[in-house]
Structure 1
Amino acid sequence: MSAAHVSLRLCRPAHPDAASAGGRVVGPWVAALEYADPQGRLVTLCERPGVVAVLLGTLYDQTLDGALNRYRTVGDAFAAQLEGSFALLILDLEAGRALALTDRVGLRTLYARHTGNAITVSTRPDHPDFSAGSLSVAAVASMLANGYLASGLTLYDGVRALTPSDLHDLRVEGILSAPYWTLPFHPAEQQRPVAADAADLIEVLRAATARRVRASGERPYLSLSGGYDSRGLLGLLRPACPNLRTFAYTLPPAR
Structure 2
Amino acid sequence: MCRIYGHFGAEPVDRDVLHAVARAMHQGGPDDQTVHTAPTWALGNNRLAVQGIGHGRQPFVLGDMTCVFNGEIYNHRELRAELAAAGHRFEGDCDGDVLLPLYERHGDAFVSRLEGMFAIAVVDRRAEPCLKLFNDHAGMKSLYYHLSADGRRLSFASELRALSRFPDFPDTLDPLAIDRYLGGRAVWGPETVYAGVRTLAPGTALRFADGRLTATRTPLAPAEVDWPDTGPGLTAAASILDGLLQHELTRMLDADVPVCVITSGGLDSSYTSAIAASVVPDLASFNVAYRGDWPADERHFAAEAARHSGTRHHQVLLDPADFPALVDRFVRHLDQPNNAPHSLSTFALFEAIHEAGFKVALTGDGADELFGGYARYVKAARDGSATWHRGYQDTMAAIGTTTLERLYTPAHRAHLAAHGGLFTDRTGDALDRRVRSGERAGRDKLETLLRYDQDERFPYYILRRVDHLSMAHSVEARIPFLQPAVMRFAHALPAGLKVVGDTVKAPVAEAARRWVPRSVIDRPKQPFTLPIAAMIKPGEALHELIGDTLLAPGARYRDHVRQDVVRDLFRMQSETPGAHTAEVLWSLLMLETWLSARNLTP
Q: TM-score range by the shorter chain?
A: 0.7 to 0.9
Equivalent-residue separation in structure 2 for 1:86 and 1:44 (angstroms)? 17
Equivalent-residue separation in structure 2 for 1:150 and 1:188 (angstroms)? 36
Work out whether 1:198 is the aligned partner of 2:238.
yes
Equivalent of residue 277 in structure 2, options 216, 223, 238: 238
Distance 1:220 1:23, change over 3 A: closer
* Correspondence for 1:58: 72
Distance 1:121 1:235, change over 3 A: same
Structure 2 contact 65–123 (Cα < 8 Å) conserved? yes
Structure 1 contact 143–149 (Cα < 8 Å) conserved? yes
Equivalent-residue separation in structure 2 for 1:97 and 1:250 (angstroms)? 48
Shift of 1:80: 0.6
Shift of 1:169: 1.1
**How high is the sequence identity, in percent, across the aligned residues?**
20
Distance 1:171 1:188, change over 3 A: same
* Correspondence for 2:207: 169
SS at the partner of 1:47? strand
The amino acid across from 1:120 in the alignment is S
The amino acid across from 1:207 in the alignment is H
Q: Which runs of 5+ in 2 are unaligned?
A: 13-35, 77-94, 294-539, 541-602
* Correspondence for 2:136: 103
**CA root-mean-square deviation:** 2.8
The amino acid across from 1:107 in the alignment is M
Equivalent-residue separation in structure 2 for 1:23 and 1:172 (angstroms)? 18
Equivalent-residue separation in structure 2 for 1:203 and 1:40 (angstroms)? 29
Distance 1:200 1:99, change over 3 A: same
* Correspondence for 1:33: 43
Distance 1:188 1:36, change over 3 A: closer
Structure 1 contact 79–167 (Cα < 8 Å) conserved? no
* Correspondence for 1:8: 6
* Correspondence for 1:19: none
Shift of 1:105: 0.4
* Correspondence for 2:107: 75
More strand by share: 1
More helix by share: 2
Shift of 1:186: 6.2
* Greater mean deviation of Cα atoms: 158-167 or 185-194: 185-194
* Greater mean deviation of Cα atoms: 182-191 or 219-228: 182-191
* Correspondence for 2:120: 88
Equivalent of residue 37 in structure 2, options 8, 16, 23: 23
Equivalent of residue 159 in structure 1, options 174, 197, 209: 197
SS at the partner of 2:44? strand
* Correspondence for 1:18: none
Q: Which runs of 5+ in 1 are unaligned?
A: 15-21
SS at the partner of 1:101? strand
Of structures 1 and 2, the larger Rg is shown by: 2
The amino acid across from 2:152 in the alignment is N
CA deviation profile, 1:62-105 (whole Å, cap 9, x unmatched): 12111211111111110111121221111122232211112210
Shift of 1:223: 1.2
SS at the partner of 1:133? coil
Give the TM-score normalised by the residue count of structure 1.
Answer: 0.82
Shift of 1:35: 2.9
* Correspondence for 2:175: 137
* Correspondence for 1:147: 185
* Greater mean deviation of Cα atoms: 184-193 or 133-142: 184-193
SS at the partner of 1:249? strand
Shift of 1:183: 4.3
Structure 2 contact 61–100 (Cα < 8 Å) conserved? no
* Correspondence for 1:125: 160
Equivalent-residue separation in structure 1 for 2:114 and 2:257 (angstroms)? 21
Equivalent-residue separation in structure 2 for 1:94 and 1:188 (angstroms)? 42
Paired residue total: 240
